[in-house]
Structure 1
Amino acid sequence: MTIKRLFPSFVLLFLLNATAACAQEVTLVYDETVPQEAYAARKLGEALEEQGYELGSDRSGYDHLISLSVHEERLGSEAFAIVPEDRVTSVYGGDHRGLIYGALALAETLRNGTPLTAVESTEQSPNLAFRGIKYNLPWETYRPSSALDQHYETARDLDYWESFLDMMVANRFNAISLWNLHPFTFMIQPKNFPEASPWSDKEFAQWQRLYREIFRMAKERGLDTYLVHWSIFVSREFAEAHSVAEQNFYPHYYVEGDTSEIVRRYLRESVTQVLEEYPNLDGFGISHGEGMAGMTPLERQKWMDDVLIAGMLDADRPVKLIHRVPFSSGTGSEPGVSKSVEVVTRDAMEKLEDRFDGPIWVEMKFNWSHAHSTPELVKVHGGKLGDTYFKPTPKNYKVTWQARNEDFFALRWGVPDFIRQHIALNGAADYVGGYFVGSETYIPALDYFTAVDEPVDWNWAFERQWLFYQLWGRLLYDPETPDSVFQAAFNRRYGAKGDNLLNAYSLASSTQLRLASLYDSRWDFTLYSEGFLALQGDYTRYISVDHLIDHPTMDPDYVSVADFVETMHEGGSFGVDRITPPILAEQLERDNREALRLVEGIDTEGNASLMYEVADVKTWAHLGLHLAEKLKGAVALHRYRLYGDEEQQQVAIRHLQQALAHWDQVVEITRPIYRDMPLTHYNHNFFEANDENLFHWALVRDEVAQDVDIARSAESESSDR
């Protein structure tokens, strides 16, 4: 009754369509022997039945026929076309992956309320060839942490993987990379090194089934699969049996490289055996980093060539390769060798020529571990990047940017124009192949956030962040995808109550991007934007007003508080393209107050899922208003300290009190609906009172309040000048 009252014309149209659809029998024609075509037909069939159509098999007496087929001559790889004509709708794919995308696109159109008879012709093709997910597995994971360990059982649940892989293909991601230190003993019983396995036959059979099913389901959905592991790691059992690699096993992760012959044999044979025993696995990723301390760049590359790459090439089948760039910059070459790390790596990749299936995907971390900052490339892991990998244009490899997210896990996020700008600035060059999206310190498996007992429309963590994955996946496939596609997804979930949510998220969750552009960061723990935390010395803490004043910016267009105050005092100025603290504060206030206005009055009674959506917008908005007030307070405090004027001290106190008031609003919103959440960034802290690494905005409230005390107790330095 409520829906009918809100949308009388919509409901009437829906009922008319449903009534008509109930009388319509639809026949799907496809090759049942091809797993990808069967999957496409199954997902399309589900949408048809949801809309009231009946599925039939009669190829002569149907009301409507949908033909699914591959048309390589007409369409390119991963492209699709939907061609309606009278009572027949043809869905073509340039390959089976494109056919799946076409079937899912038609299913989406039907779910948006378009009857089969009104479907219009459409054709799409991919903008970027590689659209991957970086997924850290919780066993032998890179960063031992309670935040990661908690996902162990969920990540062994095949129902979970079926849902996650469905999400990937629905959003047009085409590759999943599974990362952990040493995957081999979970997947094989090494033929010549049985002592390396820690499992009973029953335990190993369970692990083997898990990996086989993940790869099978991925293949059915047209997804490529990769194992990415760190370099010279073995099982503890292997290390102890042979008295080698004394720390090259979980939970250690930055240790000396052990290049002894038995380690080399074990790893080379393990790579080959995995490829032989898992035919649905597409490839491997290699990493010049952890497990190789004490080795020069040339030694590391030679070891890669002789062990891991050789093991891949020993397998008698096509193999795809992800080659991570070395983490260090500069020269660091062997004595007498004047080649930089970049030159060594490029030479090694080019020598492989056409040894691998398709281009080598060269992974580079965009803005280190915090790609959700500025869309301008400022740095990669280790610092600035030269043009060695780009000039001249490579022939056998493509750069794939790693868009790491170590900044938000609990709050929903969605800024479509940021992703479009990111792709426009960094995805157009002929040497770019695509993107990875994923985290090191977070696994999107167990929902460890939700605190309410009311039913919600998700089971697992990644489903809470549905907008994040949809935006990245669909825009990587086609950056021209309009906002109306994403707005329709809100309306499918919440009806007219979702009308303003896309705009509200775009405005409010830009707070995170602005903080990460303002506050420079490097590796994982150096920033957690969602919590306004950063690594300060040996501890991860709330970003105090003092740290905000002194810290450099990530985005060179942004101006730090210290630079702004001191430049302006000396009579200087900033160009119109620079974002000074007052300009940033104004942007934050404008956008976040508008976001609050957009969600004001949305009735979430009886719908806990919608309640969370609205609450997250409000939380981001108050975090943004908190930052705006904090910036104003920081400017005034720095002026007072450097140049006197006690009025500036009082201004600082007032703004920092307002910043605290907005933080209290965040606590008021989130305390009833979010649990205390394990956070990997807290690994270094070792607080006795927080030995489980728990984060909640309420738990750091006292740290936020200290800003006011800092301003009250501040002293002017002007008398010393």
Structure 2
Amino acid sequence: MNNLMRKKPFRVYTVLCLCYCILFFTCSNKENYINVVTLSDTPQVSFALKDVESALGSLYRRIDAKQSDRADIVLSIKDIDTLKPEGFKIDIANNRIEVIGHDKAGLMYGALELAEQIKLYGIDDVKPMVRNPYLEIRGPKFNIPLDVRTPSYTDVSDAAQYNIPHMWDFTFWKDYIDTMARYRYNYISLWNLHPFPSLVKVPGYEDVALNDVQRSTVKWKENYSLMAIGFDAPEIINNVEVLKAMTIEEKIEFWKKVMAYGKSRNIDFHFITWNIFDYGTKGKYGITDDRDNPITTDYFRKSIKQMFVTYPDLAGIGLTTGENMKGANHKEREEWAYDTYAMGILDAAKEMPNRQFKFIHRQHQSGAREIAEKFKAVVEADNIEFLFCFKYAKAHVYSATKQPFHENANYVEQIKGMKTLWGLRNDDTFYFRWGAPDFTREFISNLPYDDVAKGIYFGSDQWIWGRDFLTKNPETPNQIEVSKHWYQWLLWGRLSYDPTISNKRFKAILTDRFSGIDAEKLFSAWQNASMVYPITTGFHWGKLDFQWYIEGCKSRPSQAGNETGFHDVNRFISLGVHPKSGNQSIPDYVKMVSEAKTTTLKTPFDVVKKLHDVSDKALLGIKEMKAGDDKELQFTLNDIATLSFLGKYYAYKIEGATYLALYRATNSKENQKLAVEALEKALVFWKKYTEKAMAQNLNPLWTNRVGIVDWKQITRWVEQDIAIVKNESKTKI
């Protein structure tokens, strides 16, 4: 399209572009339209075509396939050597744009790409390209709170309690699925401790199936078992409200509709469980959580099969062994898992030989080699794809772009060339909008890939990515979380599909989303503020979710070494660094100084400098930005400033902890004085952080892993850090 080469963005110069396009197409087609033809009229393609229509506006005209010779844009599916499943090609020749998909999913992604290019740059600046998915499977980890009687790990929290009713609202799933499809995710994994009573009517165990959707009205305790035991305590189960009256048959129809809708957007559904839990059964038929109970074994086996019998669009099922298996060894765990989950899916596969199934077995609390040997029949089944799953970054994907845990476990060697899903746990960003493309791209590029990577799941155990309930005076009440945190979810989805996407594209997306801003400055400020998470957690490393939550500076009390769970200045000295962060711990730094040695690692003071650097650059970048009437931009700028103040807090806290450790080693009053000064500055920025945070968000927040996060209460603990240092000596400072 040589005579369509315009460099001005379509959105900014709408009138000029529209006039130009009208003139061009009047000359070439004697029409004032851009004619669009699709040779594949599937739901996936129809969905993407709506975005093309939106991008073209009044110029869009859909014409019949018989008139394809008059088309300006053609969408088709073709068998081309360069394309793989879900791949697409955009060709431009003879004043025509052709989008070619390997399959309906590829054509959907190609049409979405075309729509975005038109929207960002104008139709005259659409670029030809060939794209194939980098990671084959890309999806969220979604802990789903179905009902008080069938809880997820996350249910004992505000996020879950608020979201139970939304899990039974089709509007939520429609918005969620459409958004995830645009971000290039192609499956949703729903995690629950024992979902079957809320989902299926199992032959021989029909009375286990649950009617209605219930939520407990109990006055919740702050902390419950980290192993998800006791969520059916009498005071919880006996004090309930009915949120929605539904029969089990109506529930089944609901989930059939949700899964079918997902299929229409190239999104599969998987259910993944922890074991052995019997929530919701109430001991009916003699079912217990006893591994040696033959009734329990039979019930689980039939439940697995019935899930596939009931839901024709259910793609797969997965399991975790060891969570509630009461002292069983690896062999005993896997024997139970085989007799239940494996036999259940083998039963389904035998009954439905023309259907494809996925079976996901987490390596968590078990051995990969033992699993592969035990599940050989599943691995070798013609219509079952066996996948491993490994918690790649433990609980904190925002810690370092390289992770050591698969290396420590010799995991890649253990699975002997079999495929795996890398689990990317984000138990860090719940309140604030995150967006660091460079970190995301580097992280994805560092994943073990060749002959092993099937894909990723990205999500949390401490959060439900349902609907927002924290924002004060939201522009869109009950906004879905993946829209509120749109940039974060877009980055992980789009870069997992195509890690070559440049920052230039992301800046163009920001320009389009926020009218009138300097996208270069916003992009840099947002990325710098977001790096507060990995810089801090890479230095102050609690690898599991209950060991560290950065937005509250908290863990469970046992992990903090005190009664509150607050990570005080002492804990900042004692807790180690992430093994791949390149950081030096405070004790190692003090030892190095005392021995007059040097290091190639980043010292605590280097980390301090880096935190100040990213925080100051972020604050400077947004200094002159005005949100005007754009409420989302207002929220975004507030989050960037909030994270910058948090970064300054942690910088001064690490500085104060380092000087305190030096004081203890040297008895130098100067180091004690410097520690107090740093921690006094830390308090100033903690107050700035919480003031900004609470201006926009509700406080406190009850979480399932670190308890109540109350910024006002935590402020008093931050103040005590100063007293800790001063009380090191009776000498007045």
If the TM-score is normalised by the length of the shorter chain, which range does it land in? Answer: 0.7 to 0.9
Residue from 486, 492, 501 that aligns with 2:512 = 492
Instruction: Note if 1:544 corresponds to 2:568.
Output: yes
Residue from 127, 139, 143 that aligns with 2:134 = 127
Match of 1:284 in 2: 317
Distance 1:58 1:128 in 2: 33
Residue from 439, 448, 470 that aligns with 1:418 = 439
For residues 47 and 234 of structure 1, do their structure 2 counterparts lie closer, same or farther at Cα, with a shift above 3 Å needed? farther
Instruction: Note if 1:94 corresponds to 2:105.
Output: no
Distance 1:106 1:530 in 2: 38
Instruction: Note if 1:211 corresponds to 2:255.
Output: yes
Q: Deviations over 1:71-102 (max 9, x none)?
A: 23332111101113335322111122111110
Residue from 157, 174, 185 that aligns with 1:146 = 157
- Checking the alignment, whether the CA contact within 8 Å between 1:30 and 1:38 is kept in structure 2 is no
**1:232 CA displacement:** 2.7
Match of 2:722 in 1: 708
Distance 2:142 2:107 in 1: 26
Residue from 447, 458, 461 that aligns with 1:440 = 461
Distance 1:656 1:94 in 2: 58
Match of 2:89 in 1: 81
Distance 1:235 1:91 in 2: 49
Match of 2:300 in 1: 267
Instruction: Note if 1:194 corresponds to 2:194.
Output: no
Q: How does 1:490-639 map to 2 (within 5 A)?
A: 490-499=510-519, 500-537=521-558, 541-556=565-580, 557-575=582-600, 578-639=601-662
Residue from 398, 401, 404 that aligns with 2:422 = 401
Residue from 473, 481, 484 that aligns with 2:493 = 473
For residues 133 and 65 of structure 1, do their structure 2 counterparts lie closer, same or farther at Cα, with a shift above 3 Å needed? same
**1:644 CA displacement:** 1.1
- Checking the alignment, whether the CA contact within 8 Å between 1:271 and 1:308 is kept in structure 2 is yes
Q: Percent identity?
A: 25
Name the SS of the counterpart of 1:131 in structure 2.
strand
**AA of the residue aligned to 1:73:** I
Q: Deviations over 1:390-436 (max 9, x none)?
A: 26842xx3122111011111111122222222222223332222211
Higher deviation after alignment, 272-281 or 363-372: 363-372
Higher deviation after alignment, 420-429 or 588-597: 420-429
Distance 1:376 1:462 in 2: 25
Distance 2:267 2:592 in 1: 53
CA root-mean-square deviation: 2.6
**1:56 CA displacement:** 4.4
Match of 2:359 in 1: 321
**1:348 CA displacement:** 2.7
Distance 1:585 1:625 in 2: 9
Distance 1:442 1:428 in 2: 28
Match of 1:169 in 2: 181
Residue from 380, 396, 405 that aligns with 1:370 = 396
Match of 2:225 in 1: none
Distance 1:463 1:311 in 2: 37
**1:657 CA displacement:** 0.6
- Checking the alignment, whether the CA contact within 8 Å between 1:134 and 1:437 is kept in structure 2 is yes
Higher deviation after alignment, 105-114 or 142-151: 142-151
Name the SS of the counterpart of 1:635 in structure 2.
helix
**1:269 CA displacement:** 1.2
Higher deviation after alignment, 460-469 or 202-211: 202-211
**AA of the residue aligned to 1:293:** K
- Checking the alignment, whether the CA contact within 8 Å between 1:585 and 1:632 is kept in structure 2 is yes
Instruction: Note if 1:31 corresponds to 2:40.
Output: yes
- Checking the alignment, whether the CA contact within 8 Å between 1:285 and 1:321 is kept in structure 2 is yes
Match of 2:371 in 1: 345
Match of 2:479 in 1: 459
- Checking the alignment, whether the CA contact within 8 Å between 1:229 and 1:285 is kept in structure 2 is yes
Distance 1:158 1:351 in 2: 37
Distance 1:469 1:392 in 2: 29
Q: Deviations over 1:490-540 (max 9, x none)?
A: 111112315122211211111110121112223321111122222341766
- Checking the alignment, whether the CA contact within 8 Å between 1:24 and 1:63 is kept in structure 2 is no
Name the SS of the counterpart of 2:461 in structure 1.
coil
Structure 2 gap ranges (5+):
1-6, 23-31, 213-244
For residues 10 and 399 of structure 1, do their structure 2 counterparts lie closer, same or farther at Cα, with a shift above 3 Å needed? closer
**1:585 CA displacement:** 0.8
Please report the TM-score for the alignment, with normalisation by the length of structure 1: 0.87
Match of 1:659 in 2: 682
For residues 600 and 52 of structure 1, do their structure 2 counterparts lie closer, same or farther at Cα, with a shift above 3 Å needed? farther
Residue from 348, 361, 369 that aligns with 2:387 = 361
**AA of the residue aligned to 1:344:** E
Instruction: Note if 1:379 corresponds to 2:388.
Output: no
- Checking the alignment, whether the CA contact within 8 Å between 1:177 and 1:227 is kept in structure 2 is yes
**AA of the residue aligned to 1:653:** V
**1:284 CA displacement:** 0.6
Name the SS of the counterpart of 2:190 in structure 1.
strand
Please report the TM-score for the alignment, with normalisation by the length of structure 2: 0.86
Structure 1 gap ranges (5+):
1-6, 249-256, 329-340, 686-692
**AA of the residue aligned to 2:589:** F
Name the SS of the counterpart of 2:608 in structure 1.
helix
**AA of the residue aligned to 1:319:** F
- Checking the alignment, whether the CA contact within 8 Å between 1:24 and 1:54 is kept in structure 2 is yes
For residues 203 and 478 of structure 1, do their structure 2 counterparts lie closer, same or farther at Cα, with a shift above 3 Å needed? same
Match of 1:338 in 2: none
For residues 235 and 681 of structure 1, do their structure 2 counterparts lie closer, same or farther at Cα, with a shift above 3 Å needed? closer
**1:63 CA displacement:** 6.4
For residues 566 and 530 of structure 1, do their structure 2 counterparts lie closer, same or farther at Cα, with a shift above 3 Å needed? same
Distance 1:682 1:716 in 2: 38
Match of 2:78 in 1: 71
**1:37 CA displacement:** 3.1
Aligned residues: 668
